[in-house]
Amino acid sequence: MSSSRPLRLALFGSGRIGQVHARNLAADPDIELVLIADPFIDAARALASQTGARAVQDPEEVFAAQDLDGVIIGSPTNTHVDLMTRAAERGLAVLCEKPIDLDLDTVLACRDRVKNATAPIMLGFNRRFDPGFAAVNARVEAGEIGPLEQLTIISRDPAPAPRGYLETSGGIFRDMTIHDLDMARFFVPDIVEVTAVGANQFSDDIRELGDYDSVVVTLRGRGGELISITNSRHCSYGYDQRLEAFGPEGMLEARNLTPTAVRKHDASGTELQDPIMNFFLERYAEAYRLELQAFAQAIRSGTTPSPGFADGLAALVLADAAVESAQNGKTVTVEQIW
């Protein structure tokens, strides 16, 4: 594909994540956001007016549009498989927010239908594009610490989502830990065992839903790598997002981000930094921008994007294994179906 004209993209969904993508698309001179589709047409129109796109209510209008290069799926989870399948069948590139679906069989069925897709399918595991995590990953790949032996991921949300969201979220492993499972696979693609422990520490809502508000997951990679994930659904000091990669020659850690490098010193203590970023869209603002660039690059070059469909499938397999392990108190061996 020539780079002589901007890419023409459509967006499904004008909610929180759709707005992030729409604004990033609008600021990129090499991409034209043509259509925004949302059953809530008012929301689509509001976003369209800010970004020079046209709002449509019916997804069919997207699939009928001429000269479209690809779609970004930021609509609710239960629409992902249908929209992805139809887009792929029309030869459109797809960037789909995670998860593909909460049900493994549905994802497997979807896989069969998109396996002959000619255009790239990319999964929205945005954290792979975070400059800090990406830098650690690249430096590990470059051999800076020798072969990876241990990976410690700490990931805490500022506060639980509303109960309505939690009820359809698929549970902490499929909704929240899934990002960390993908981060684990960013470093160690080949995971063979999952051991998970869950607890109810503070949220009655979550307890009533039969879910955990706090979990620790241990993964084993095929090469014997040990990965530890610690999650909590709340965190008073912001959106705690850190990791440490350990190998025989050293350790690389990605720390939390603060808005400035200002430090305060007073009678109560020294080196106090600003609070860390509290909101995922702010914390991962740069990651969302870079993710979009990677998607555009995959379309233009015709290469397979990363993370792709198989990564979305793999993360769900690991999340399901974590559910099983936590419930049964057993380590679960993972069958590598991706």
CB of 73: closest distance to a second copy in angstroms?
A: 25
Q: Which is nearer to a second copy, 83 or 319 (CB)?
A: 319
CB of 171: closest distance to a second copy in angstroms?
A: 17
CB of 140: closest distance to a second copy in angstroms?
A: 11
CB of 126: closest distance to a second copy in angstroms?
A: 16
Cβ atoms 102, 176 nearer than 8 A: no
Q: Which is nearer to a second copy, 77 or 203 (CB)?
A: 203
Instruction: Name 167's Cβ contacts closer than 8 Å, sequence gap at least 6.
Output: 209
Write the DSSP string, 285-322: HHHHHHHHHHHHHHHHHTPPPSSBHHHHHHHHHHHHHH
CB of 291: closest distance to a second copy in angstroms?
A: 17
Cβ atoms 145, 247 nearer than 8 A: yes
Cβ atoms 323, 171 nearer than 8 A: yes
Q: Look at residue 162 and give its three-state secondary structure.
A: coil
Cα distances (Å, whole numbers) of residue 275 to 132, 197, 243, 253: 18, 29, 18, 19
Q: Which is nearer to a second copy, 131 or 302 (CB)?
A: 131
* Total Cβ atoms within 10 A of residue 286: 15
Instruction: Name 93's Cβ contacts closer than 8 Å, sequence gap at least 6.
Output: 69, 70, 71, 87, 119, 120, 121, 122, 295, 298, 299
Q: Which is nearer to a second copy, 26 or 41 (CB)?
A: 26
Q: Which is nearer to a second copy, 112 or 271 (CB)?
A: 271
CB of 322: closest distance to a second copy in angstroms?
A: 12
Q: Which is nearer to a second copy, 5 or 115 (CB)?
A: 5
